[in-house]
Amino acid sequence: MAIAATPTQTPEVILVSRRDLPLACPPQGDNFWSQHPRVFLPIEKTGEAICPYCGAQYRLRD
């Protein structure tokens, strides 16, 4: 579940696996699916991605 962080919160890192690819935020079926437009995040090269809409931080597990 991705929630936009306020300045006083430290954003939680969301761990994803290769079977979750392609990675999209918000994830399909998530409670916050209508919070912002669905955007696909390129996480394969660096292993990390940040959603430009809500600031959710994703990290690819080994």
What are the sequence ranges of the domains in the chain?
A: 13-60
Beta pairing partners, 40: 24
Give the whole-angstrom CA distance, residue 37 versus residue 15.
21
* pTM (predicted TM-score): 0.74
Contact 48, 25 (CB under 8 A): no
Mean pLDDT rounded to a whole number for the chain? 84
The tens digit of pLDDT for each residue in 16-41 reads: 999 999 999 998 777 777 789 999 99
Res. 10 pLDDT band, cuts 50 70 90: low
